[in-house]
Structure 1
Amino acid sequence: MRLWESIAGRLGCRRPAARQGAAAGLVLITTAAVATAAAATAAAAQEGPTPGGWTAPSIATSLPANGDPTGARAWLAARGLTFNLIYTNDLLSNIKGGLRTGTVDQGKLELQVSYDFEPLTGWKGLTFYTDAYQIHDTGRFRRDYVGGVNTIAAIEAMPTTRLAELWLQQSFLGETASLRVGQLAADVEFFYSSLSFMFLQSDWPTITALNQPSGGPAYPLATPGIRLKVDPHEDLSVLVAVFNGDPAGPPPPADEQIRNRYGVNFRVQDPPLIIGEAQLRRNHGRDDAGLAAGLKLGVWSHMGEFDDWRLAADGTLLADPNGSGIALRHRGNWGVYAVVEQQLYRPKGGTWDSGVSLFGRVSASPSDRNPVDFYVDGGIVFAGLVPGRPDDKFGASAIYTRFSDALRAYDRDAIALGGGTGVVRDFEANLELNYTAQIVPGWLVQPVLTRVWHAAGDPRRNALVTGLRSMWQF
């Protein structure tokens, strides 16, 4: 019996009886050609780099000699050194509302380099990894055009060339455990759903980006840390990490991406951020035929001090012009979260993320010391269901970010005391509609339409965004 089923049995959970009926209904409207194509795609799927040194899907497979006419890339791969180049470009237009209308072109070129020590040194399980970004744009779209807090397109960042992650990892216990040390990004492994990656707004959640110093250890900022991962069962992983708690350091300047412009601050003196996560999986194996599911439960705790969003240290209100204006300080901060994934329909021979799937993330943090106290996002993904186009996907995703009770109380205080703007910030919500078309393996084109309500919590500010993402992987 799988671990998932054992736990569900102990909790008294029942398997939904309606699954087979729902799947049968979907099969009636899905052509046999789609199922056959999905099976072929699953069989061709690659895990990790090929002997040629490229990772599928890659445009290398559409080039003469797999883009390696001299054989240099394959020669390096045979000695443990592999690399990927990924370029992402977004052409986005705010066509209505927000701060102002207009169009932005933004791009990110990423270089990923990995080295396996075993082929040349015989040191088994030791890996080196680093990646770096070259970021460019003609404007900061979310900040300067929409004026919101939720992600519109996850590659948005200050134009620069920036070091991202830089680490060594040693696996042990028969590769059921690994220890990673170096400059790390939490959003690579924690608090994410793989199903959401097709959406432009898929990102480190707003609640952690706003509640942790300098946005936390997430794109585009990484920070020194250590991470332990253990897989006690094929369907269970447990991760614990300790990060330096401020990847950029305190202001000034106000923008954390300016404070750590090139990703080389390597700060280790800040109070730590600790994150722990348990990951449960079901039917994720290549040979599994049942509906896939996943559940991640996590908690983070920061050991630093955090300002109250309403109260001053002298007992007055922060909005009171006659008060000290110095915020009451709280020791520590924390948040809890969950990530849920459920496949609704799996075509014959399909992978765990094929067919029709739902995903969702939810999180909460204390109201008094955080600008956001509740967050939820989620969506639905249709993968491999377009006849003749087994690698295309389409779907919808939504984000809801609730501004905290303390922040809203501050806004009301400011209005009552005559110094406010007249707006009590309530929430920001996004809806994204996305179609992902594979032109050739490794080249994706994604038309997108996004609606934003209450940008930055302002009930008067909505926006409508459209655009096109192109992505190439070599």
Structure 2
Amino acid sequence: MSVAGWRAGVVIAALMAAGNAARAASHPLVTDILPSGVPLPVPAPTFVLPPDDAGTELLGDAWGARPWLDRHGVRLTAQDVEELWGLTGGGLNRGATYDGMTAMALLLDTNAAFGWHDGAFNISALQIRGRSFTDERLGALNPVSGYDAGRSTRLFEVWYGQGFFGDRLDIRVGSLDLDTEFLVSQNASFFLNASFGWPLSTSSNLYSGGPSWPYSALGTRVKWSPLSALVLMGAVTDDNPTGGPFYSSDGDTQRDASGTRFSLGNGALFVGEAQYWLDLARNLSGKDAPALPGTWKIGGLFDSGAFPDPRYDARGGLLADPDSSGDPREHRGNWMTYVVIDQMIWREKVGSDKTINVFVRATASNATRNRFTREVQAGFTFDELLPGRPDDTFGIAWGVGLYGRRAAQAARDAARFGTATGAPPRPEHHIELTYQAAVTHWLNLQPDVQYFWGVGGGATDGDTGRPIRNAVVTGLNMTTTF
């Protein structure tokens, strides 16, 4: 399938009527492998996975290979992303940077393959290339793109999924990426900035950023649909995909360049989420009003691993003290809670795809273990509103990450002892304006503009010794489905 119209994902599909919900949950969408920049169909109880259509892929039916594979239960997909980013003002170093990614995924439907009902085997791999624009030119906490990651050619996910009780219950076991199902906002995922996918409060507060793109971790995910409008999900995975220490001079991809380390040496990550579908128009105006569907979610995570204190060392002194051992005090266990709201707020008429949608996501984390204890993102997406461009989407979104009390105190300690310079950390805000044009059924172009203030949380430019200036970033994303 093309990227356009695809990534409702298991999150939306699981909110449908029981039969459709679980089948969509068992068979991931093609675009579940993409971390950002994916347009989403609106939440609705009648959503079903679109049928396979060779016209939405560059290679079509691949000279008859795709229909033959499909008859045997095999679906092989490939996607390519090319991005170019430019710093036009502020930041660290003006100029342009390229990054790119090619992904391949194979899905085996066990019913079509050998008569085993309601089962699916999935394996995927990534080839990530280019340089980090955020690290080298911008200096921000939030990467400008989900594809701004360490270069590697790596295994991504390997899992087996099985449905039970008419697919009302769905279980996956294997090496899992949790950010396609948990903590995700369907509308936020349209934007390119990485924080609108897997947010700063997880990517910075967990080991290796947790089981999120481009990493996965060994574990189990359970999804249950007791009612057509309600989904309950839970997962238990290893909490450290690359197996390294919390603080390390080595990059995550250096520790596990191939994605085959399968670490089990730290702690366990427990995640739970409840999702509820509702029709706001019917609730407010009656059954004859144009449907305004939405999904409302509440969830949380607990990590049983050991986490370093941002301020105190192992002897109870201040880490900023020149006499400190430099070894942080360790705390056992860590937690975070979150809410996510995706809601359509306007529709042209009954059945129309011309819509306006809003999203809000907020997180709260333990203050004694984490650098970032609160985070908020919000924004609007506008679907099919431009004349003559029925498949295009544009949107505007904002996000902010707030330092915890101990992290701010540690910075003030460092300034008092003279072991570091600069002002105490402050919130980093970013706003993104993006437009996605469906050039063909298999090619999307997405020009993008982002503005950052409080860049790096008030970090200083190593060349000037002054705080990094507010930055203007422009970019272009090209996504091709083969």
TM-score category, normalised to shorter length: 0.7 to 0.9
Match of 2:409, SS?
Answer: helix
1:101 aligns with 2:97: no
Aligned residue number for residue 268 of structure 1 = 264
Query: 1:143-162 deviations in whole A, cap 9, x for unaligned?
Result: 11111111311111112211
Counterpart residue number, 2:23: none
Structure 2 residues without counterparts, runs of 5 or longer: 1-40, 283-287, 460-466
Count residues with an aligned counterpart.
420
Amino acid in the other structure paired with 1:376: V
Indicate if the aligned counterparts of 1:445 and 1:470 stay in contact, CA closer than 8 A: yes
CA shift digits 1:81-128 (9 cap, x unpaired):
012211111110011111211111111111121010112311101100
Partner of 2:463: none
Q: Is 2:121 aligned against 1:123? A: no
SS at match of 1:211: coil
Q: In the TM superposition, what whole-angstrom CA distance separates every residue of 1:393-414 from its partner, at most 9, and x where no partner exists?
A: 1110111001111111001011
Q: Could you tell me which residue of structure 1 aligns to residue 166 of structure 2?
A: 174
**1:234 match:** 228
Q: Deviation above 4 Å: which 4+ runs of structure 1?
A: none
Segments of 5+ residues of structure 1 without an aligned counterpart are 1-38
More deviation in 93-102 or 298-307? 93-102
Counterpart of 1:244? 238
In structure 2, what is the Cα distance between the partners aligned to 1:115 and 1:219? 22
SS at match of 2:134: helix
Q: Measure how far apart 1:423 and its partner are.
A: 2.2
Map of 1:21 onto structure 2 = none
Structure 2 residue 76 is the aligned partner of structure 1 residue 83: yes
Match among 57, 63, 67 for residue 59 of structure 1: 57
Aligned counterparts of 1:222 and 1:186: Cα–Cα separation in 2: 8
In structure 2, how many angstroms separate the alpha carbons of the residues matched to 1:192 and 1:380?
15
1:386 deviates by 0.9
Larger CA deviation: 183-192 vs 287-296 = 287-296
Q: Note closer, same or farther for the CA distance 1:267–1:323 as it changes in structure 2 (3 Å cut).
A: closer
> Is contact 1:150–1:399 with CA below 8 Å preserved after alignment?
no
How far did residue 253 of structure 1 move? 4.8
For residues 396 and 429 of structure 2, the distance between their equivalents in structure 1, rounded to whole angstroms, comes to 13
* 2:205 matches 1:215: no
Measure the CA separation in 1 of the matches of 2:354 and 2:108.
31
**Aligned residue type for 1:122:** G
Residue 376 of structure 2 is aligned to residue 376 of structure 1: yes
C-alpha RMSD of the superposition: 2.2
Q: Shift of the alpha carbon at 1:354?
A: 5.0
User: Contact between 1:59 and 1:440, CA under 8 Å: does it hold in 2?
Assistant: no
- The residue identity in structure 2 corresponding to 1:90 is E
Are residues 1:47 and 2:49 paired?
A: yes
Deviates more, 1:142-151 or 1:247-256: 247-256
Distance in 2 between residues matched to 1:76 and 1:390, nearest whole Å: 32
Q: How does 1:451-470 map to 2 (within 5 A)?
A: 451-458=451-458, 460-461=467-468, 462-470=470-478
Equivalent residue, structure 1, for 2:302: 301
Q: Tell me how far apart the structure 1 counterparts of residues 48 and 277 of structure 2 sit (CA, whole Å).
A: 20
Counterparts of 1:269 and 1:146 in 2: how far apart (Å)? Answer: 34
Match of 1:206 in 2: 200
1:455 Cα deviation (Å)?
Answer: 1.7
Shift, 1:172, TM fit = 0.5
> What letter matches 2:228 in structure 1?
E
**Partner of 2:143: helix, strand, or coil?**
coil
Matched-pair identity in % = 33
Secondary structure at 2:126 match in 1: strand
Aligned to 1:175, the other structure's residue is in SS state: coil
* Structure 1 contact 304–331 (Cα < 8 Å) conserved: yes
Q: TM-score scaled to structure 2, two decimals?
A: 0.83
Q: Which amino acid aligns with 1:161?
A: T
**Aligned residue in 1 for 2:24:** none
The letter for the 2-side match of 1:217 is: P
Q: Which has the larger radius of gyration?
A: 1
Of 214, 218, 224, the residue aligned with 1:224 is 218
Q: Is the Cα–Cα contact under 8 Å of residues 338 and 362 in structure 1 kept in the other structure?
A: yes
Give me the whole-angstrom Cα distance separating, in 1, the residues matched to 2:354 and 2:331: 46
> Are the equivalent residues in 1 in contact too, given 2:61–2:67 (CA < 8 A)?
no
- 1:109-188 alignment runs, 5 A limit: 109-137=102-130, 139-188=131-180
Task: State the secondary structure of the residue aligned to 2:147.
Answer: coil
